[in-house]
Structure formats: structure tokens, C-alpha cells
Amino acid sequence: MSLPSPQFNQLGTLQHFLTLDGLDKATLTAIMDAAENFTSVGDRMIKNVPLLRGKTVANLFFENSTRTRTAFELAAKRLSADLLNVDLVTSSTNKGESLLDTLRVLESLQCDMFIVRHGESGAADFIARHVKPTINVVNGGDGQASHPTQGMLDMFTIRQHKGDFEKLCVVIIGDIRHSRVARSGIAALNTLGAGEIRVVGPRTLMPTDVESMGVSWYSDLEKALHGADVVMGLRLQTERMSGITIPSSREFFATYGLTKERLALAKPDAIVMHPGPTNRGVEISAEVADGPQSVILDQVTNGVAIRMAVMSIVMGNAEPLREAAANGVLEDTPSNKKTNSTPSEKAGSPHV
């Protein structure tokens, strides 16, 4: 009874990459398989492939970001795309121009793909519903809602180190309530059939009815860590916390900080992940972040391969639509001015 997802185009293929909620296992696996092929590109003498040659990718960051923006930039360059970095944090959107006006301007610059980061939940979804049908939108993080490429690079890193998801016990510690990384990770872990997903933190950092998201809530970190295969820390989203959620970062570390002693309660071969930037001494101790079980830097490296995979897949999926538009068969105008006139999602499992 809800609005059909705008992720799929009229051909039933993945046009936009907005959220992992609703994508099936085959789709997630195909993205990881594609990323597998891209991991070696960075090791070559010539670090690029011509898949997106002649295409223009615009980084539209309405919110500050360093690592996500850099990873997308590098991914676009390794795919040989032309890249436009638009700093919207200090740009026209602060001068009263509406989000839609900004998009129309950038559409007129004949970009093929928008990478979007925005402070409002649902912003990527909104943008995808309002761009021309030939444009791809990739969500680089929207509000507290979704950060799907981060979710995928986390899954890819887990697969590299642990293989099958079904037997895994994954523990996610900290600020679930305000975290788009946690939402995307939890959606993907559920789809990939993870054995058990535990979220740990005080109630103030848990979304309402957190169990409805397919996880078990633990208030005690030490109990939660028993038998864990994967331990994920999250950055405390101090900028998204309204009011009081924790008394102090010192108390948070005392109660929920991931230390060497606590990590010893997990399985001996457990891996430690964190989306970064890490607040050492707040969510994680330095010796764990830099320790032998940490795969945090693997996550960073994998971030480029995953983004190359996502960008090349959605760009390829939109190619027939671009050709149709070029031949005048497809009307090259915004697909739906009204939210309720979104083209229906095609029945059956969508193709990647």
C-alpha cells in the first residue's frame, strides 16, 4: 500500500541506488561479485578501466563528508568518468534556492549520474523521483535513513573475511537510532541471512521498536559480545542527537567502549569494523582500532571497489533509456512531477 520504490526503472532494472531495504539477496550478491572484480584495479600500474568513459558524474554533497566523497571520486575516476564536485554545503541551497531548483540546474549541465549526500531522511528517494528518467541517483547518505554503499562495503568486507553469512553472529554497538550506516547494515544482513544480529547500547540510542528491524537488543555489551564473529562500532552521531541521549562520551566509553578486554569475549577470530571516522577513546580503544582483528582499513579500500560496482551497474542499466531518449522514443523530462504518479515497479525479481 506504499509508494512503489523508485529504485527500479521501467525496464525493471536497478536505476538508482537509494536503500538496501527491499533489495533481494541476488542483487546484493551480484554487487559484491562485481566489486570483487574491481578490487584489483587499484593494484594495477594503470589504475582505471574505461567503463564510464564519456559519462559525467556529479558529486552533490549537501552535507560535509571527506571519506565517502573521496571514495566516490576515486571510484568515478577509476571508471574513467568525468567528475563534477559540487560543494552545496556553502552554495546556492544556502541562499534559499530549493533542492529541486538546484537539481534542475545540474540536470541542465547534462550530467548522467548524481551522487547525493543530504541531511534529510528520504532525500535520495525524493531526488530519484524527480530527476529525468535518464539520470542515475546514488545515495551517499541521507539523514538517518540510509547509506547503502557503506552497507554494501561492510557486507563485502564481512564476506571477504568470513564467507557465508548464515552462521555469523554480528554485533553492532552504539548509536543505532541516528545511524544510517546501522540501518543499511541491518537491512543487508537480514537479506543475506545473517545468523544473528545483536544491537548494543542504551535505550536512548535505540530506535523505537528496534526489534521490528530484525535484531535483538542488548543493553550489556559484555553479554552481547559472547560468541560474536563480527563486531561493528558506530560513530556517535553527535550532530544528529537532539537533546540528551548519553551523559558524556567518557561514560559511553566506560559502558560501551570496545576495549581489548571486552573484545576477548568475542570469538578469537572475530573481526572489528567501524565506518569511520573513529572517535578513539569514545567508541573504540586505539589498540583495538589498530589491532590484528581490525579490518577498518580494508573497509576503506573496499569502499572504492563497491562504489565502482554500484556506479557501473546502475549506469549500464540506464543505458537503454538514454539511447531511447536520444532517439526521441523516451520523453526526456522529469519522470514524475507528482509523487503518486511513479511508474510501477515491475513484477518479479528485478535484474541487476
Partner 1 sequence: MSKVNLPFYEAGADAPSTMSLSVETTASPTAFVTHGFVDLYARLCEPGLKRRGNIERETLLAMRSGFAHIVCSPDTQPSIDSTATVQQIKATASAVASTQVHPMGALTIGLEGSKLTELTTLHAAGCLIFGQADQPIADSAVLLRAMEYASTFHIPISLVPIDAAFGHTGCVHDGPVASRHGLPGIPALAETAGLARLLELANDSGCRLHLSRISCARSVELIRAAKAAGIDVTADVGIHHLFFTDEQINGYDSRFHSAVPFRSMADREALRLGVSDGVIDAICSDHAPLDSDARLAPLPATAPGLSCYPQFLSLWLALPKLLGLSVADLLPTITTSPANILGLDLTASPSAKFLIDPDAATVINDEGHQNPLAGINNLKEITGEDVELKGSATQLV
- Report, in Å, the least distance between residue 171 CB and partner 1: 19
d(CA 323, CA 300) in angstroms, rounded, equals 35
Nearest to 291 by CA among 271, 311, 262: 271
For residue 194, which of 168, 173, 175, 159 has the smallest C-alpha distance? 168
What Å distances lie between residue 222 and 139, 166, 262, 263, 311, CA to CA? 34, 23, 6, 9, 39
Judged by CB under 8 A, does residue 105 bind partner 1? no
C-alpha cell of residue 315: 549506469
**Which residue's CB is nearer to partner 1, number 119 or number 291?**
119
Interacting positions 265-324 with partner 1 (CB under 8 A): none
Tell me how far, at minimum, the Cβ of 212 lies from partner 1, in Å: 4
CB of 94 to partner 1, least distance (A): 14
Minimum distance of partner 1 from residue 122's CB (angstroms)? 4
Please provide the size of the chain in residues.
352
CB of 19 to partner 1, least distance (A): 9
Q: Is 216 in the site for partner 1 (CB under 8 A)?
A: no
**C-alpha cell read off for 192:** 543475506
100 binds partner 1 (CB under 8 A): yes
User: What are the φ and ψ backbone dihedral angles of 242, each rounded to 5 degrees?
Assistant: -100, 125
Residue from the set 63, 73, 142, 175 that interacts with partner 1 by CB under 8 A:
142
Tell me the number of residues near partner 1 by CB under 8 A.
34
Grid cell listed for 205: 540510542
154 forms part of the interface with partner 1 (CB under 8 A): no
Could you tell me how far CA 36 lies from the centroid of its own chain?
17
Q: Write out the H or E segment, with its range, that includes residue 274.
A: none
| Contact range with partner 1 by CB under 8 A, out of 48-56, 209-217, 271-279, 286-294 | 209-217
With a CB cutoff of 8 Å and minimum separation 6, the contacts of 204 are 177, 244, 245, 246
Is 126 among the residues that bind partner 1 (CB under 8 A)?
Answer: yes
| Interface with partner 1 in residues 156-185 (CB under 8 A) | 180, 183
* Residue 97 binds partner 1, judged by CB under 8 A: no
Nearer to partner 1, 29 or 121 (CB): 121
**How near is the Cβ of 64 to partner 1 at its closest, in Å?**
18
Please state, in angstroms and rounded to a whole number, the distance separating the CA atoms of residues 59 and 96. 20
Residue from the set 125, 154, 229, 283 that interacts with partner 1 by CB under 8 A: 125
Q: How far apart are CA 163 and CA 142, in angstroms?
A: 29
63 forms part of the interface with partner 1 (CB under 8 A): no
Q: Which of 143, 233, 257, 275 binds partner 1 (CB under 8 A)?
A: 143
Cα–Cα distance, 287 to 149 (Å, whole number): 27
Residue nearer to partner 1 on the CB measure, 125 or 154: 125
Please give the Cα distance from 63 to 119 (Å, whole number). 6
170 or 213, CB closer to partner 1? 213
The C-alpha cell at 187 is 537491512
Which of 57, 168, 200, 213 contacts partner 1 by CB under 8 A?
Answer: 213
Give me the amino acid identity at 167: K
Our finding on whether 196 is near partner 1 (CB under 8 A) is no
Q: Is 350 in the site for partner 1 (CB under 8 A)?
A: no
Compute the distance between CA of residue 135 and CA of residue 322 in angstroms, rounded to an integer. 8
Taking CB under 8 A as the rule, does residue 1 contact partner 1?
yes
Q: Which of 303, 314, 275, 301 is nearest to 114 (CA)?
A: 314
C-alpha cell at 182: 546501522
242 contributes a contact to partner 1 by CB under 8 A: yes
- Taking the least distance from each CB to partner 1, the nearer of 147 and 322 is 147
Contact 197, 230 (CB under 8 A): no
Q: Report the interface residues with partner 1, using CB under 8 A.
A: 1-5, 21, 98-100, 118, 120-123, 125-126, 130, 142-146, 180, 183, 207-210, 212-213, 242-243, 339-340
